[in-house]
A and B are shown apart, each in its own frame.
Chain A
């Protein structure tokens, strides 16, 4: 048997790390957001999109981190399924509501950007539809988790769902290459370098890092909450048994 990473086998070590890690990531997120918003709101309007270009600084980071949250959910689910690590399951469970919120944010801000630029709130193209599917997978994960009382069975069922759902990630990423779409293609990782001038690229990068740090902070706090919940339920069970 391959040994599990020590960090994931030791809740005490995780609690000690997250005690200072969560607020540290939170402070970094706020500092990066302030810098990103400053650069974003001092950048000139785009020659084609006008002032609506400023929506990219909040829309694209939400979409990127929503996908990253799913990567975290899937990796933690795999570790939970293979090594039966409680902390990995707690990490997967904690990532789901955050990912769902970020995906909803990406869909809503994208719609608010699409209406003035495309003339429509929504189109059933590859990128938008696969992102909606991501949101529905998050909701399905949360619903499945809530519907099973047995913690072990819930962890197993949700881990399988999360791993099956990870098929959607490359579909989201490559959808703009595979199918015709109103949605623009890759911006940061376009062939030949970022398809964006530095005046927009700098605030975009700062906001992306800010969203990532915010997710990191909230994720750590949520995992801590999950650890407390499991400890409280174990303590209540011990007390009930006398």
Chain B
């Protein structure tokens, strides 16, 4: 069975797990944002070009 009793070390153990989850969340969000932002930018530029050869750049 799962044993979540961390006794007197709770602050260290849960601190380490919480910090790891936080870093993974930051890495995942920033990675997805980076990729989506530049994909959208590229598609916007291409759409502008297709619409008449002019873009917002």
- Residues on A facing B (Cβ under 8 Å): 38, 41-42, 44-45, 50-52, 54-55, 58-59, 62, 97-98, 101-102, 104-105, 108-109, 112-113, 115-116, 214, 218, 221-222, 224-226, 228-229, 231-232, 235-236, 239-240
Contacts and interface: CB of A to CB of B under 8 A. Distances in A.
B26 to A, nearest CB: 7
A225 B16 contact: no
Given A41-B2, A58-B17, A116-B9, A228 B39 contact: yes
A112 B13 CA distance: 7
22 contacts: A38-B2, A52-B12, A54-B13, A59-B16, A102-B23, A105-B19, A109-B16, A109-B19, A113-B12, A113-B16, A214-B24, A218-B27, A218-B28, A221-B35, A224-B35, A224-B39, A225-B31, A225-B37, A228-B41, A231-B42, A232-B41, A239-B54
Contacts, number: 107
Nearest to B20: A58
A239 B23 CA distance: 38
Most chain A beta carbons < 10 A, residue from B28, B30, B31: B31
A44 B13 CA distance: 15
A239 B38 contact: no
A101 B27 contact: yes
Interface residues of B, number: 38
Would you call the interface of chain A mostly helix, strand, loop, or mixed? helix
Which 10 A-B pairs rank lowest in CB-CB distance, beginning with the nearest? A225-B35, A228-B38, A232-B42, A229-B38, A239-B55, A235-B45, A225-B34, A232-B41, A109-B16, A112-B16
A109 B4 CA distance: 18
Interface of B: 1-7, 9, 12-13, 15-17, 19-20, 23-24, 26-28, 30-32, 34-39, 41-42, 45-46, 48-49, 54-55, 57
B16, B39, B45: most-surrounded residue (chain A CB, <10 A): B16
A239 B48 contact: yes
Contact of B32 (A58, A62, A221): A221
Contact of B23 (A52, A101, A240): A101
Contacts of A235: 42, 45-46, 49, 55
B32 to A, nearest CB: 7
Nearest to A228: B38
Contacts of B57: 236, 239-240
